[in-house]
Every structure is written in C-alpha cells, then in structure tokens.
Structure 1
Amino acid sequence: MEAFWGSINAEQSWLVSSQPSEEVAAAEELSPLLSNELHRQVSPGVSFGFSVFNLMNAIMGSGILGLAYVMANTGILGFSLLLLMVALLGSYSVHLLLSMCIQTAVTSYEDLGLFAFGLPGKVVVAGTIIIQNIGAMSSYLLIIKTELPAAISEFLTGDYSGSWYLDGQTLLIIICVGIVFPLALLPKIGFLGYTSSLSFFFMVFFALVIIIKKWAIPCPLTLDHTEEFFQISNATDDCKPKLFHFSKESAYAIPTMAFSFLCHTSVLPIYCELQSPSKKRMQNVTNTAIALSFLIYFISALFGYLTFYDKVESELLRGYSKYLPHDVIVMTVKLCILFAVLLTVPLIHFPARKALMMMFFSNFPFSWIRHSLITLVLNIIILLLAIYVPDIRNVFGVVGASTSTCLIFVFPGLFYLKLSREDFLSWKKLGAFVLLISGILLGNFSLAFIVFDWIKK
C-alpha cells in the first residue's frame, strides 16, 4: 500500500514540476511505454473495428428511442445544433481523458480522479460512474419490459392475456438470469465485440425502417384502430416541421443527448484492450464511433419526428406499435432493437463493476467469487429499478442532467485544469474550461427545470 501511494506521489511530483514543453516531451516518451505495457497485458488485443463496435454499443442504446421526442420539442435546426454540440464536446472530452491517461500513466477514469484530488476524487468519480451505469442499464431493461410483451403479442392471434410470456416482469427476470448475467460475467470487454457488431447492424436496420415507414403513416394522423391514442386533425400546421421550438419539455433535450452520447466510462477499458494501443489510435476509434452514432441518431430522430410530428412519443417505438400494430417489418425491427438494447446491458456492466472493485477491493487480487457476486448485485439492482420506474423519460432526464453531464463535461475539464501544467491561455486549457462551465450550467439548468416540472405536475 505504501509503495502504491509512493508511486502516486512521485508521478504527481513529476506532473507539478514539468514545464509545458517538458510535459509534452515526457508524454511522448511515456506513450510508447504505456502502450507496450497495455499490449503485454492483453496481447494480441482487440482489433480497431471491434473496438469501434464496442464503443458504439456503449454509446447507442435506449437514447435512440428518445431523440425524436427531443426533436419535437426543440425543432429540427435546434435539435441539430444541440446534437452536434454534444457530440463535438463529447469527442473533445475523450481527447482530454486520453491526454491525461498518457501524462499520468493510468488507464482508468477513477485513477484520474485520484491523481487530481486524491482519494475523495476517486470515490466521487467511481460513485458517479456506478450511478450513471445503473441508470443506463435500468433504462435498457425498462424498454425490454414494456416493449417485449407487446412485440410477442403482435405475433399471436387470439386472446392470450394473462399468459406468463406476455408479462413484462416475468420476461425481464428470465432475460436477466439467462442472458444478461452470463454475458456480464465475461472477464474481458473485448469478448463482446461480436455481439456489439451485431447490435450496431440492428441499429442501422432500425434507422432504415424509420425512414421507410415515414411514407406508410399518413399525416394528419387518422383514427382507425388508434382512436384512443390520436385525434383527427385537418390542420395543415400539424404536418409542418418546426425549425425551432421550445417548451417546458425542451429541458429534457440536453440530458437526453448527454445520456445518448455517454461512452466515457467505457473508453479507457476499451483502450486497455485495444490492439497496438496509442492515444491517436484510440482517438480515431472514438471519433469513428461518435460520428457513426451521430449519423444514426440524427436520421432516426429526423424521420421519427417527420412521421408523428408533435404527437411523437417519448419512446419512439410506442407510436409504431399504436399505429402499425401488426406490420411485419415494424415487428421485426422492434425485436432487433430490443435485442440490440439487451446486448448493451452486459457491456455497461464492465465499467460499473470496475468502479465498485476500485472503491472497495482495489488492493485485492482477482477473485471469481467476488467478481460473480458484484455482477449479481448489480443485476438485481437494475432489475428492481426497471420493474418500478414508470417512465423512461425520467431516467433520461435525471441521470442525463446529473451524472452524464459530469462524466462528459465536468470531470474531464476539471481534471485537465488541475493536472496539466500548460499555460491557462493555451487552447487545451481554454477548451477544458469551456467544457467545465458548459457542463455545470447545462446540467444544473436542465435538472432545475425537470424538478420544477415534476413539482408542478
């Protein structure tokens, strides 16, 4: 333990004593050393393509179902600007994380908190990661609980109400025990590369179906079999997209986007298992994953919004379930998106379990018993949350405004300002300062409006 803290103090002393030019040179020398160490640990490593798929799987999940609702409450241009801003800031914050990872020779978000602010910093980061990942996993399971019974019932003819396979809670328990728990027990994140690539193609298929079905649902929406859900309106304004639109529901925009682009807790674990790891290679993995995710997010949100306009649901699949309940393509894509969301849950288990390990068992050797018990406890927690949380929008709003903004904006900017010895007027430090202030303002502003909306209701 003393040796560990001695190494921490020595590395911190090196950071403090370095001048800006020396820091760059030292980082350049340290980079290959760190890369070699990482390469030795996980040789031969995970390929570039599988690393992109893994990171995309960490990025894309339940958020894709909530962005059309966000576009309806911000307008097409407003949504586009906000989504682009969050994507760029997210990519830049990963750049800062990787820079600090090279400077400090550590490969975990929690240890960056330790370097910056000691043990309290590590505990705060680990706690934030655990809360955010639990919120993310529970939101994925919440989608499965609400949509899987509906998807199964659409394939059935006749009355099967009351059957166990149409009960969301029963299906959720079976899935958590039979699929999520075994996959989450895998010791390395790279093993999920094949399932992640499959999940990515499901998301692409989802986006293509959203585009196709835009012309299958007329506007204005008519009654027919959806009488209890939609009102007939002949007003042409109902079918005109809005470029900018703001309402009290717009408060959910930034939190939902932050929630949708958060991959920072998975970046460093993926970096550790990357084949021939280097800062540049991992940044290319991140930029590729964020760019592809942005494209799929935008297409899905745009055509989902242009299908339902102001009547778009907070969870996009509900609209198609109500208006096209027995459409074969919609039924197929629903199963695909549910499977893609399901495959994301084990991936998010890794950073959550790692954070718990670092908080309570950092000085203990690996143990399969402890590994399995922590995975089981996490599984039980997210299962209970998925059963009792009523609306996915609440998860997007609260988790996105609090923990997601901290992990994407606040922590990377704050840690870089603390650890880097560059001049404050350097581009990187100014960027880190903007990242920090943006995260604090956007997170607090959104959270205040969400809480006010709850109180008002």
Structure 2
Amino acid sequence: YIYLFRLSISPPLYLFASSTTEEQSRDYRKVMSEEKKDFMSEPFIVKNIDYDDDEEATIVDDYNNSQGKTSFSKTCFHGINALSGVGILSVPYALASGGWLSLIILFTVAITTFYCAILIKRCMDMDPLLRSYPDIGYKAFGNTGRVVVSIFMNLELYLVATSFLILEGDNLNKLFSNVGFNFMGFELQGKQMFIVLVALIILPSVWLDNMRILSYISASGVFASGLILASIFWVGAFEGVGFKNSDSDVFRLNGVTTSVSLYAFCYCAHPVFPTLYTSMKNKRQFSNVMVICFTICTFIYASVAVLGYLMYGSNVESQITLNLPTDKLSSKVAIWTTLVNPIAKFALMVTPIIDAMRSRFSRFLPNKRASGFVLSTVLVASNVIVALLLPFFGDLMSLVGAFLSASASVILPCLCYLKISGKYRRLGFETLVLIGITLTGILVVITGTYRAVKDIFGRF
C-alpha cells in the first residue's frame, strides 16, 4: 500500500542523517526541498550542504504555501483502501480465538489506532517540512528514528507479500484439490505447487518499471472488501449454512493475544497516512477523513467477524474463504475476489524493498535494469521459500500484527508525538494516556510475538 500511494497521490519526500545539530538542520531543509525517490532507495548518509538564511527561509515558505490536490472524497477512498486488506479474511478467526467478548478488543484497537493516526497528523502540523513517516521518525529521534521506521516498514511489506503467496496457495488448493506435477523427479503437490505457480505468474509484474496500472487494480480493495462481506452474508443467509452455530465461546483467555495481534494487523496503514495528509487540498479535514475511514472499515471487519463466527463457530479457518462451500456461486465470488487483489498488490508491496536493495548494491550492479531484474527475482524467490517453510497464514499474520503493526501503528506514533511535541517533559493527562498506550503496545508486542512464534514452531 505504501508504493500504491506513492504512485497515485504524490511522491513522498524522505530525509537522512548528518553529523551535527546544525548540519542536520541544513541537510533537513535541503533534502526536503527536492523530490526524492522512495525513501528505501536513498543512501543512509548525505553530503553536508550549506545554505544561507534566505535560502532556508525560501525552502520553508515553499512548503508552507504548498497545497495538495486530493479532494476530501478521494482521500477517504484512499484511506479506506489502505485500511481494508487481507486482514478481513482473518477477523472471524480472531473472534473465534478470543470469544465474543474479544469484539471489545476489536473496537479498542480501532479507537487506539485512530487516535494514533491523529497523533501523526499533529506531528505533521508541527513542522511543514514533514512529508512521510520516516520524516517523523527523523524529526523525533534523528537518523536512528528514520532507520527504525524504515526497517519496520520494509519488514512488514516483505511479510505481507509472503502472506499473499500463502493465501493464494490455500484458496487455489481449495478450488483445485489433488493437483500436482512431477518434473524430473521433483514433485510439488497441492498448496506448495500453487505457491510456486502464483509466484511465477506474479514475477513478470515485479520486473515492470511502471506500476501505475497495477496501482489502479489494487485500489479495488475498497470494493473487494464490500463484495466479500456481501458474499459471506449470502452464503450464510441463502446457501444453507445459516447463522446458528452453537460451538462458540463468550471468552477465551488463552486466545486473547492472537485476537489482539490479528486485530492490530487490520489497522496497519499508518505509514500511508502522512502521504494522505500532505496530498489533501484542505488538511484541516484530515481528522474527519480518519473518522470516516476507521468507522467504515471497523464496521466491515466487525460484520465479517460476527457473520463468520455465527456460521462456523470455533471451526472457522484462519481465512474465512477456506470454510465456504466451493459449489456455490456466492462462495466462488468471494474466493476469486480474494485471489485477484493480492496478485495485483504483490508487485506494489515489494517494489520499495527492491528499490532499497538496488540502492545498497548499486556499486556491484551498475546496470540499473539488470540489477532490478536480478534483485526482484531473488526477492520473490525468498518470498516463495519463506511461504513454503512457514505456510501458516493465521500465525504469520499474528506475528506481523503483534511485532510490526503494533509497533508501527501504536508505539512509534506515541513516542514520536511525545518527543516532537515536548510533552514528555511535563506530566499531564494526555502524557499519561500516551505512556499507557505505549506500555500496552509494548506488552502486545512481547506477548503477541511470543505466542505467534510459539504457534508457528508448534506446527512442526
């Protein structure tokens, strides 16, 4: 989703470290005054460039006077698209893991992440030069903050792309069971075969230089989420499944960490919000955009979770589509909708990582096109290997939600706001709230990551 918004809204600008406080200030203004490529593709160190006061004032004025071009409605569309992803398939499983009362956790996570989105807006308001999430990290904690934010964003993109392959393998294996091939003694069956096959289909799209067409296709995520919700309801109401499954629990303490992790994964779009904010014509309406986006997405997530749990109880799979009967038209609509969107989004997910790798290894691979070809192929191959070694969609999403989403969408916004605003210097009500959210986020990271890793190893 990060690369999607880089294409469809405006190219985000990123900044990098220098050695002293005065030099940081000058480098900050210089780098922010020029259009850069993706932040992952830039070097970690930039040369120090001196400016006089008039030049610095001009740069700041340019950004103060700059206006985005995106309307309120289009920003809402982009925000909903960023928040609505493959997490919709796992919310019934999250509800089954924690029981009915875990719906309270879903709403709590939604409110908390909404508040953190507003914190990101406040950080952006404090400095007109801030244009991206790594910018905020740099403003708060210097180069260390930028590097930490970049690592979390890269790793999250990588694992989400890997989860796409697992998702495709699971659902294609459900549609076409007992399919395999044998080539010169090398045999692949079922899910593993489909993971490799989908990767081969996706690979040419990763080689493309122009991702704009794919960005438009992947933007259909807004409609895909609504279509999946409608299809699941249709299966339950009119296809004989019903909503009377009695195999459900009010509360399951041992599954709470899994629920929290999966719910957190559903709201992991915060790295996109700075780009959304800077793209708006009227930035004062950004809070209203967030209200609309979080309300609509939370309604969809809660609806799918309740419908799926009512239909299948504790037997619900980590992807609700794996429970749907394949002989029904509405089920096929849901499954094929689930399959198409990740294929379009895969290249958008991994392209920032490829850009970063290309920048790191540019001295060894001077040919830009050849280096992109080699690095993208190696990256997709590594995605396939991870997907084959860890083909557990629910557990992998729990790991991403606990370790990466909770960090990037909850902990980092709170810490950055505390530092940039200076609220850490004085103890007030909001400061206590921020500290409480941060400590809770750290607890989720520790317990959720431990549980996810334990569940993954427990499957071997």
TM-score normalised by the shorter chain: which range applies? 0.7 to 0.9
Distance change >3 Å, CA 451–CA 333, structure 1 → 2:
closer
1:298 to 299, 302, 308: 302
Q: Secondary structure at the match of 2:426?
A: coil
- Tell whether 2:334 aligns with 1:330: no
Check conservation: 1:259, 1:400, Cα contact below 8 A.
yes
**Which fold has the larger relative contact order, with Cα–Cα distance below 8 Å and residues 6 or more apart in sequence?**
1
Counterparts of 1:331 and 1:143, CA distance in 2:
15
| Letter aligned with residue 106 of structure 1 | L
Counterparts of 1:195 and 1:202, CA distance in 2:
11
Counterparts of 2:108 and 2:174, CA distance in 1:
36
* Displacement of 1:179: 3.9
**TM-score using structure 2 length:** 0.74
* Displacement of 1:335: 0.4
* Displacement of 1:193: 6.0
Q: Secondary structure at the match of 1:283?
A: helix
* Displacement of 1:109: 1.6
Counterparts of 1:165 and 1:52, CA distance in 2:
43
Can you give the 5+ residue segments of structure 2 that lack an aligned partner in the other structure? Answer: 1-16, 29-58, 183-187, 363-367
What pairs with 1:274-293 in structure 2 (closer than 5 Å)?
274-276=279-281, 278=283, 280-293=284-297
Instruction: String of CA shifts for 1:130-184, please: whole Å, max 9, x gaps.
Output: 1111111211221012212433x38xxxx865499973034212332244554xx
Instruction: String of CA shifts for 1:401-448, please: whole Å, max 9, x gaps.
Output: 111111011111111111113463455434432321221122212223
**TM-score using structure 1 length:** 0.75
Check conservation: 1:63, 1:259, Cα contact below 8 A.
yes
Distance change >3 Å, CA 444–CA 2, structure 1 → 2:
closer
**Counterpart in 2 of 1:444?**
446
Instruction: String of CA shifts for 1:23-74, please: whole Å, max 9, x gaps.
Output: xxxxxxx9996464364xxxxx444444333333332222111110111122
1:74 to 93, 98, 120: 98
Counterparts of 2:21 and 2:370, CA distance in 1:
28
Q: Secondary structure at the match of 2:323?
A: helix
Instruction: String of CA shifts for 1:348-407, please: whole Å, max 9, x gaps.
Output: 34665677789899xxxxx87877776555444434323332211221122211111110
Counterparts of 2:361 and 2:440, CA distance in 1:
32
What pairs with 1:184-333 in structure 2 (closer than 5 Å)?
185-186=209-210, 194-215=216-237, 216-218=239-241, 239=246, 241-242=248-249, 244-272=250-278, 274-276=279-281, 278=283, 280-320=284-324, 324-333=325-334
Counterparts of 1:359 and 1:117, CA distance in 2:
23
Check conservation: 1:86, 1:258, Cα contact below 8 A.
yes
Q: Secondary structure at the match of 2:317?
A: coil
The farther-off stretch of 86-95 and 283-292 is: 283-292
Counterparts of 2:142 and 2:253, CA distance in 1:
42
What pairs with 1:2-401 in structure 2 (closer than 5 Å)?
6=22, 8-9=24-25, 34=63, 36-37=65-66, 39=68, 45-76=69-100, 78-104=101-127, 105-151=129-175, 153=176, 162=181, 167-179=193-205, 181-182=207-208, 185-186=209-210, 194-215=216-237, 216-218=239-241, 239=246, 241-242=248-249, 244-272=250-278, 274-276=279-281, 278=283, 280-320=284-324, 324-349=325-350, 352=353, 378-401=379-402
Q: Secondary structure at the match of 2:252?
A: coil
Counterparts of 2:318 and 2:201, CA distance in 1:
24
Check conservation: 1:412, 1:432, Cα contact below 8 A.
no
Q: Secondary structure at the match of 2:130?
A: coil
* Displacement of 1:456: 6.5
| Letter aligned with residue 408 of structure 1 | S
* Displacement of 1:2: 6.5
- Name the one with the larger helix percent: 1
Distance change >3 Å, CA 301–CA 284, structure 1 → 2:
same
The farther-off stretch of 297-306 and 325-334 is: 325-334
Can you give the 5+ residue segments of structure 1 that lack an aligned partner in the other structure? Answer: 13-29, 40-44, 221-235, 362-366
Counterparts of 2:361 and 2:148, CA distance in 1:
13
Distance change >3 Å, CA 160–CA 95, structure 1 → 2:
closer
**Counterpart in 2 of 1:432?**
434
Q: Secondary structure at the match of 1:314?
A: coil
Instruction: String of CA shifts for 1:285-316, please: whole Å, max 9, x gaps.
Output: 33322222111111111111100011111221
Distance change >3 Å, CA 55–CA 359, structure 1 → 2:
farther
Q: Secondary structure at the match of 1:239?
A: coil
Aligned residues: 399
Instruction: String of CA shifts for 1:100-147, please: whole Å, max 9, x gaps.
Output: 123232112222222222222221121111111111121122101221
Check conservation: 1:126, 1:356, Cα contact below 8 A.
no
